[in-house]
Amino acid sequence: MIYPLPAVLVSCGDASGLRNLLTVAWTGTVCTDPPMCYVSIRRERHSYDIIRRTGEFVINLTTEELARATDWCGVRSGRDCDKFAEMGLTPGRGAVVAAPTVEEAPISIECRVRQVLPLGSHDMFLAEVVNVQADERYLDAGGRLDFERARPLVYSHGEYFGLGGAIGRFGWSVRKKPQAPRGERVVEPARAAASEQGRDAAPQTSGARTARTARTAGPKPGRAAAPKRAGGRGAKSSKRR
């Protein structure tokens, strides 16, 4: 099989207040335009019927700090408990879908099911990404997820792992090496990126929550700031298709 994989928390529910969390590793991106992804779920799982009925779910990326909650939500059934409450996780409001988000997740990807493919042990829920919410604490100056700050969690052969430092940017292997003045040493991109590992400390999560930025897939119109919610949470900006 193909490893490692992201270990994500998939949240589902409806407007009545029904909610659940499911740990999934069989997930990934399948298309750029329109942006689409998938999750594969066993039919006997509690979340399967909820997602099949509502046609919506949210993929919440996880971090090393969420490792215990990620594992726990994968071995306990939502038929017997409220996983949000048991793990001390905060259900957020989706900008487009009725399914809740996980406020502690660095990225929450709102999805609408386009097709369900029965494959065998699992059914694949092929879905279109309709909105993305991002915690601004974990974004770099260019608006991309900063791995060293977020410390994302991955899964491989029954174990959870963190990620190491960056090795290089896309295309660095074929770029021409810069010419340094005589007597100076040129540092290759891979080595330079690796040397940056560990310089930035992970942000503190105690205290008030940092604002989360909501983005939808597709063309990038101007950003519109959403009003602040009760409870002191930061504002969200949203881009919709």
CATH number of the domain at 227, please. 2.30.110.10
The answer to whether residue 87 sits within a structural domain is yes
E strand map for the chain = 5-6, 8-13, 19-24, 27-31, 36-41, 56-60, 91-92, 101-102, 107-118, 123-135, 153-156, 159-162, 212-215, 224-225, 237-238
The answer to whether residue 148 sits within a structural domain is yes
**What is the number of domains present in the chain?**
1
Burial pattern 202-240, b for ≥16 Cβ within 10 A else e, equals eeeeeeebebbbbbbbeeeeeeeeeeeeeeebbebbbbe
The answer to whether residue 166 sits within a structural domain is no
Please report which confidence band the pLDDT of residue 11 belongs to, taking 50, 70 and 90 as the band edges. very high
The answer to whether residue 84 sits within a structural domain is yes
The answer to whether residue 202 sits within a structural domain is no
The domain in which residue 39 lies consists of: 5-159+208-238
The answer to whether residue 73 sits within a structural domain is yes
The pLDDT tens digits for 189-224 are 555 555 554 444 444 444 344 556 555 555 444 434
* Global confidence as pTM: 0.75
The answer to whether residue 182 sits within a structural domain is no
Which are the contacts of 66, defined by CB distance < 8 A and separation ≥ 6?
A: 9, 104, 105, 153
The answer to whether residue 33 sits within a structural domain is yes
Find the DSSP H helices in 19-131. Answer: 46-54, 67-75, 83-87
The pLDDT tens digits for 135-154 are 999 999 988 889 888 999 99
Structure tokens at 37: 């992804």
